[in-house]
Structure 1
Amino acid sequence: MSSLGQALSRSRLSRPDAIRALKSPLYELEVSVLVIYTGGTIGMKDSGGGLKPEPNALYKFLHTLPILHDEQYAEDTKLYERYPEFTLVLPLSKQKPRVVYTILEYSPLLDSSNMTPDDWAKIGKDIEKYYEQYNGFVVLHGTDTMAYTASALSFMCENLRKPVIVTGSQVPIYELRNDGRDNLLGALLLAGQYIIPEVCLYFYQKLYRGNRVTKVDAESFDAFTSPNLRPLASLEVDIKIDWDIVLRPETLDKFTVSTELNSNVGVLRLFPGITTDTVKAFLQPPMNGIVLETYGCGNAPERPDLLDEIKKASDRGVIIINCTQCLRGTVKATYETGHKLYDAGVIAGGDMTPEAALSKLSYVLAKDLSTEEKKKMMSQILRGEMTGDLVGPKRSLSDSRFIQVIAKSLSSSCKEELDAIGDALTPSLACAAAKVGDIEALEAIRKMGSDLSMADYDGRTPLHIAACEGHLKVVEYLLSKGATVYARDRFGDTPLCSAVSFRHKDVVKLLRKTGAHFSRDEMVDAGMKLRSLAESGDLEGLEILQLAGVEVARTTGCE
């Protein structure tokens, strides 16, 4: 029998039964979300001269809304003593756990029309500052420049492993008829209850990749669209996540925010009869990067005077990205007029939105790289901002002979039933492979189109199992394929908890390097466990908790 077969023959995969130190009775029920309130229509009131943000009003109002705050639960569980000021809690939904959220209100609050790259940097720094304290982040923002902010944050947040969701509303939340309550509620549920490690934009029951959206309607609640990529999730009768297109960081590097942005970028939209002087003036220093909005699939007037100015700018280091003026479609060299632009040094922008292209330029141009390296980076897919071979061809699990044999014994034959069988069996197969350290089997499962973060009947992922067993190479492999360090099984454990429980030092170090950390409640419980370990002289236990991020000296009084 193969090693994988031996693992499958066992009745139950590993569970840390003997060492169960890091457990809070409330933790399985609660997750925390930080709401960064920057301003925007959602919190505006009529000042007599038009709508404007009103400081300190949003929290007080949300406190009165039963759909967005469960006061009885807050009182019964002493919520206000356990969390920072300006904290609220959602009522319990059928999708557990319960979402607790804290509002960080900016001063002054901004109309999004006044947003600048400095404001993007501030938001990014706050996400980085509070990254280990919250399970997810919601950014409340005005709709006018929301697509720009979502795009910019997507590039600034490097190695992101938690959800960051930008949302707002078309009508203030205080109005009788408004979209703010549903948008805020949906964003909170998604940020708290699902590990979607991307910067997203949520609006009108749809979750979009942040760098794929554009605002298309100034008067409808359905104000945004993602022209060239379907939504990541939809919130209708049920919450449906399209996991096949959710991106995961395939790296062992820790989360960071790159706040250095180049402001010498701009958008030049071509139009019939545009003069050479206009183009020349626009391309002059200090301009470092241009989004050139062209016709159709990337065409421009075939005029030597225009092309000459574009080539001169490109030759002196100005990076020019070709994006279509059309809402949908891709820039490609189908016509001779498009070829002429590339001969002049222009880079094809694929199906990027102008907002994404501009934000990407600002991000890339700030890097300490050569011009050629920056151009290469602009043509690469960094955060799923344009369509390409992001995933590559996959076989369907329904093509697997193993699945087909099982299906035959169950008298199943249609594709839907085969896929259902595959979805049911694959997590256990992957966990069994992780149990015995079979990376080859895990790679085969991944190539069949499976997400290696999928959980088994106990909510345990292959990363949980590998962490329990101390299989360092398997842990490293899973992390490099996008496995999340924040998944919790039905007992409330993360892979880090599992590694700590079984005292696998190298695994703990690797998980910490990748961004794993204890939650607020786990830190409290770890402090209690530390005292017990110190009293019993368990130096190995103290070392493990210290490696996991617990400050031993401060908690125990040891020096």
Structure 2
Amino acid sequence: KVPTWTFHFQRSKRQRDDDALVLPQNQKNPKASRIAYKIEEYNPLLDSSNITPKDWAKIGKDIENNYMDYDGFVILHGTDTMAYTASALSFMCEHLRKPVIITGSQVPIYDVQNDGIENLLVALLIAGTYDIPEVGLYFHDKLYRGNRVTKVDAESFGAFSSPNLAPLVSTGVNITVNWNIVWRDKYQQRFQVSTEMNQNVGLLRLFPGITATTVRAFLQPPIEGVILETYGSGNAPDKDKALLDALKEATDSGVIIVNCTQCLRGTVSLTYATGAALKKAGVLPGADMTPEAALTKLSYVLAKKDLTLEEKKWVLFKNLRGEMTDAAGEPKLCLSDSRFIQAIAKSLSLSCTEELGAVRDALTPSLACAAAKTGDIEALEALKQLGSHLFFGDYDGRTPLHVACCEGNLNAVQYLLSQGATVHAKDRYGATPLSNAVHFRHKEVVELLRETGAHLSRDELDEAGVELCSLAASGDLEGLKLWILAGADLTKPGPDGQNVLQVAQSAGQKEVVATFSSCS
């Protein structure tokens, strides 16, 4: 059993704190930043079978409280309830834009033959290297979406499966990221953790011969929500009128019942009469959610006191964190539809889909950055329709969002954020889109980024002292106000040990002193 630990870590060129640990240098890429991390050990340590929603809330709050100080989080957790914790945290973490990875082991890490060391190191490596802003579960060479997994084996190292969604990342000699399915929050709001979970929920599994009396007893108060595990593609005995009446009585009284299949793979469908009978009884289809995801989502939604019963039902229909497969995906143009790609492919004598995809992936980061520079939304949309990812960086690691922020193209910034571009991206010099907007003095962009949850990195805050003192010495009020808007600390000393107000006083900048004296 693996106790629950939380690892806070960051990509860093140097060790931050005396008690920080650092992963070894990446031999394949010696220039890559090393990953520094700190460990917070919970007291008491819990076997995962004893985990409750209160423990989920504690983990979530620790992530929220440390969110601005670290680039991501790794949680060590026992395997028995790991899928429940991963699902619950995926819903509790609202507007997440940094990786949170849960991992553990089947065999204790101190045994000679164990899977714990590799799971931990690779989880740290993935979370410290790749922009995957989801709650994920890493196990046995695979990173899965946290709300898509279920435990399928009590003895094998391959303990978990994601029946209806391919892994986000596959590891081996190389690490392969399936960027096409990485979930990105598209709402321009700050990260927060919703710790309230309604515990008046349950799982009810149908079986041949289950009686209406049993079902009716299960659905009595204080139960408020139930995941009904049905046969096949969401079927129940439609000839048992008493059973259907029991379900109808419960839904009429305000109990929310969600239909999920007992099958490992597949989705709930209303094709058969037996499935349609449940809909008539007021039971909501749960698509292809796992029981763990469906139960924790129901618990999360029922706890929303500001929503009416009908609004809660509507939210349960929505794909909140990628926990279900949408009925209709967004149509995308084929690579062969792009004349531009065709022309390049012809000149390079390329023909197969893989080669065309490689050309697209090599060209589109620079093309997207060029479109962001001019604020060309149509070009960005066209690149997206070709299957391009608008959050990849160019040869300098600068993403389209970096460029749009430098140029002050507010519409382009809004569009990119709506497509899931991360405000925490760093270029090869460690600069974020927020620091770019501050340096080039685009106030509206700074305000938008801050509303979306952007913050200055530790490196940027460390280096801000020099620029702040320079601005204070020259009496640049506008520049100082922008840095404050971005979250800079005016009390932070510069290279000579003096802070902004001390420098302003020494330089005779009375207006700066009068304006910012309250900040001290």
Give the Cα separation in 2 of the matches to 1:493 and 1:549.
15
Task: Answer yes or no: is the 8 Å Cα contact 2:227–2:259 preserved in 1.
Answer: yes
Residue 452 of structure 1 corresponds to: 390
1:186 and 2:122 equivalent? yes
Residue 488 of structure 1 corresponds to: 426
Give the Cα separation in 1 of the matches to 2:487 and 2:73.
22
Amino acid at match of 1:334: T
Matches within 5 A, 1:449-528: 449-528=387-466
Residue 552 of structure 1 corresponds to: 490
Instruction: Count residues in correspondence.
Output: 489
Pick from 68, 81, 90 the counterpart of residue 154 of structure 1: 90
Matches within 5 A, 1:162-241: 162-241=98-177
**TM value normalised by structure 1:** 0.85
**Percent of paired sites with the same residue:** 66
Cα deviation for residue 509 of structure 1 reads 1.6
Residue 360 of structure 1 corresponds to: 297
Bigger mean CA deviation after superposition, 308-317 or 437-446: 437-446
Amino acid at match of 1:471: N
Residue 307 of structure 1 corresponds to: 244
1:104 and 2:75 equivalent? no
Pick from 191, 197, 202 the counterpart of residue 255 of structure 1: 191
Task: Answer yes or no: is the 8 Å Cα contact 1:434–1:466 preserved in 2.
Answer: yes
**1:38-81 deviation per Cα after TM superposition (whole angstroms, max 9, x unaligned):** xxx235xxxxxxxxx9x9xx99xxxxxxxx9xxxx99xx6x3xx
Task: Answer yes or no: is the 8 Å Cα contact 1:291–1:354 preserved in 2.
Answer: yes
Give the Cα separation in 2 of the matches to 1:543 and 1:379.
44
1:136 and 2:96 equivalent? no
Q: Secondary structure at the match of 1:338?
A: helix
Matches within 5 A, 1:534-553: 534-553=472-491
Task: Answer yes or no: is the 8 Å Cα contact 2:472–2:500 preserved in 1.
Answer: no
Task: Answer yes or no: is the 8 Å Cα contact 1:398–1:422 preserved in 2.
Answer: no
Task: Answer yes or no: is the 8 Å Cα contact 1:264–1:289 preserved in 2.
Answer: yes
Task: Answer yes or no: is the 8 Å Cα contact 2:103–2:137 preserved in 1.
Answer: yes
1:89 and 2:49 equivalent? no
Give the Cα separation in 2 of the matches to 1:410 and 1:229.
35
Bigger mean CA deviation after superposition, 549-558 or 107-116: 549-558
**1:92-114 deviation per Cα after TM superposition (whole angstroms, max 9, x unaligned):** 11352211111111111111100
Task: Answer yes or no: is the 8 Å Cα contact 2:441–2:482 preserved in 1.
Answer: yes
**1:296-336 deviation per Cα after TM superposition (whole angstroms, max 9, x unaligned):** 11111220111111000000000001111111111111221
Task: Answer yes or no: is the 8 Å Cα contact 1:84–1:102 preserved in 2.
Answer: no
Cα deviation for residue 84 of structure 1 reads 6.3
Give the Cα separation in 1 of the matches to 2:341 and 2:37.
43
Residue 206 of structure 2 corresponds to: 270
Pick from 274, 287, 290 the counterpart of residue 226 of structure 2: 290
Cα deviation for residue 389 of structure 1 reads 4.6
Amino acid at match of 2:312: K
Task: Answer yes or no: is the 8 Å Cα contact 1:398–1:419 preserved in 2.
Answer: no
Residue 256 of structure 2 corresponds to: 319
Amino acid at match of 2:45: L
**1:238-294 deviation per Cα after TM superposition (whole angstroms, max 9, x unaligned):** 010000000111121111111111000000011111122211110000100000011
Matches within 5 A, 1:367-406: 367=304, 368-389=306-327, 391-406=329-344
Bigger mean CA deviation after superposition, 91-100 or 312-321: 91-100
1:346 and 2:283 equivalent? yes
Give the Cα separation in 1 of the matches to 2:48 and 2:254.
32
Amino acid at match of 1:88: L
Instruction: Mark the CA change 1:84 to 1:109 in structure 2 (over 3 Å): closer, same or farther.
Output: farther
**1:94-149 deviation per Cα after TM superposition (whole angstroms, max 9, x unaligned):** 35221111111111111110011111111111111110000001111110000000
Give the Cα separation in 1 of the matches to 2:289 and 2:33.
36
Task: Answer yes or no: is the 8 Å Cα contact 1:265–1:290 preserved in 2.
Answer: yes
Give the Cα separation in 1 of the matches to 2:72 and 2:328.
25
Residue 470 of structure 2 corresponds to: 532
Cα deviation for residue 538 of structure 1 reads 2.4
Task: Answer yes or no: is the 8 Å Cα contact 1:216–1:225 preserved in 2.
Answer: yes
**TM value normalised by structure 2:** 0.91
Cα deviation for residue 390 of structure 1 reads 6.9
Instruction: Mark the CA change 1:440 to 1:347 in structure 2 (over 3 Å): closer, same or farther.
Output: same
Give the Cα separation in 2 of the matches to 1:300 and 1:391.
29
Task: Answer yes or no: is the 8 Å Cα contact 2:2–2:48 preserved in 1.
Answer: no
Cα deviation for residue 441 of structure 1 reads 1.2
Pick from 38, 42, 46 the counterpart of residue 2 of structure 2: 42
User: Which structure 1 residue ranges, 5 or more long, are not aligned?
Assistant: 1-40, 44-52, 60-67
Q: Secondary structure at the match of 2:42?
A: strand
**1:393-430 deviation per Cα after TM superposition (whole angstroms, max 9, x unaligned):** 21133320111112212222222222221111111111
Task: Answer yes or no: is the 8 Å Cα contact 1:156–1:258 preserved in 2.
Answer: yes
Give the Cα separation in 1 of the matches to 2:249 and 2:479.
65
Residue 281 of structure 1 corresponds to: 217
Task: Answer yes or no: is the 8 Å Cα contact 1:349–1:379 preserved in 2.
Answer: yes
Amino acid at match of 2:267: T
Q: Secondary structure at the match of 2:44?
A: strand
Task: Answer yes or no: is the 8 Å Cα contact 1:319–1:346 preserved in 2.
Answer: yes
Cα deviation for residue 454 of structure 1 reads 1.6
**1:351-373 deviation per Cα after TM superposition (whole angstroms, max 9, x unaligned):** 10000000000000011211111
Task: Answer yes or no: is the 8 Å Cα contact 2:438–2:483 preserved in 1.
Answer: yes
Cα deviation for residue 554 of structure 1 reads 5.8
**1:436-477 deviation per Cα after TM superposition (whole angstroms, max 9, x unaligned):** 111111111112221111211221111111111111111111
Q: Secondary structure at the match of 1:108?
A: coil
1:420 and 2:358 equivalent? yes
Instruction: Mark the CA change 1:503 to 1:255 in structure 2 (over 3 Å): closer, same or farther.
Output: same
